[in-house]
Amino acid sequence: MRTQRLPSKPVDWPVDAGRDRLIGDWHIFQRSGGHRTSTDDLITAWYAVHRNPVTPARYLDLGCGVGSVLLMVSHKLRPKNALGIEAQAQSAAMARRAVAELPEHEGQIDVRHADFREIDFGGEPYDLITGSPPYFPLDAGVLPNDPQRRACRFEERGGVEVYVEAAARALGERARLYVVFQTRWSERVSTAAAEHDLHLSGRADFSTRVDRPEPFLTVFELSRQPAEVAHRVHCSVRDTDGRISPEYQRIRQELGVADA
């Protein structure tokens, strides 16, 4: 069991940072005016958990932000060692505090403030890796003034390509990477995977509504070993009346998050 003293809040702790329940009795800190946990995070965590029912020894979350995917996966799978890497100081600070406030549990969860592009992952590889990269090029629209929102939405430090490259350096021989991206840019994921000898072994497509079946977000499962038949699942987030669909509610319940 792990016991950890709660760190004091840094001097520059954001005044609009609130403590919100994430999953079970685990909480995260997120700003009312900053980037907040979203559908992207939930579906990434769910697909990683859905496809990996066995406790991983080593779990890595690239660009962990305030820690939502890192904590949802860790809550469900209870890895022996989990590591989140985040380049933005403010987000890393909030993720660290969320980890420090966790109730006692088996396993170790750490958050490192660093740019994962510069990390040497030599040594023991990871059994499971997740990533929720930004997916808007810098010229795709008006950049938010808020640094945290800007970094989470726009590719200031690169997009899905740098996530796949970093994961390929850290991925175990039979491990899997789960990365979420806009479906319309699926070719970018496929190209990046091919460049690093990774194979598409599964994908979960999500559409906004039952009556609008074209997916807008996809969680890609990439592996070193090719699959005989790639796993495939499709889910509509809302029904025709705009309410949370029964199938998406089941996904939330399988992951263990509160009812929407």
pLDDT tens across 21-43, in order? 999 999 999 988 888 889 999 99
* 11 within a domain of the structure (yes/no): no
Rounded Cα distance, 86 and 138, in Å? 20
DSSP letter for each residue of 200-213: EEEEEEEEEETTB-
Amino acid making up residue 167 = A
State the alpha helices, DSSP H only, in the chain.
Answer: 39-51, 68-77, 89-100, 147-153, 160-170, 186-195, 246-255
| CATH number (domain holding residue 40) | 3.40.50.150
pLDDT at 6 over 60: no
Quick one: 136 exposed, middle or buried, by C-beta within 10 A (0-12, 13-18, 19+)? middle
Length of the chain: 260
Q: Is the pLDDT of residue 134 over 70?
A: yes
Q: Domain limits at 118?
A: 17-255
Question: Pick from 189, 80, 190: which is nearest to 126 by CA?
Answer: 80
Tell me what pLDDT residue 3 has. Answer: 42
DSSP 3-state assignment of 110?
A: strand
The answer as to whether 80 is a domain residue is: yes
| Per-residue pLDDT at 107 | 87
- What are the beta bridge partners of residue 201? none
Q: Is 37 a domain residue? A: yes
Task: Tell me the percentage of the chain whose pLDDT exceeds 90.
Answer: 74
Determine, yes or no, domain membership for 8. Answer: no
Cα 85 from Cα 63, distance rounded (Å): 5
| DSSP of 144-176 | PSSHHHHHHHB-TT--HHHHHHHHHHHEEEEEE
Q: Considering its fold, how many domains does the chain have in total?
A: 1
Structure tokens at 102: 């966790």
Q: Note whether residue 5 is domain-resident.
A: no
Lowest mean pLDDT among 16-20, 25-29, 84-88, 179-183: 16-20
Judge residue 112's burial from the number of C-beta atoms within 10 Å of its C-beta, 0-12 exposed, 13-18 middle, 19 or more buried.
Answer: middle
217 lies in some domain: yes
- Assigned domain for 4 exists: no
Q: How far apart are CA 192 and CA 184, in angstroms?
A: 15
User: Each residue of 67-121: pLDDT tens digit?
Assistant: 999 999 999 999 999 999 999 999 999 999 999 999 988 789 999 999 999 999 9
72 lies in some domain: yes
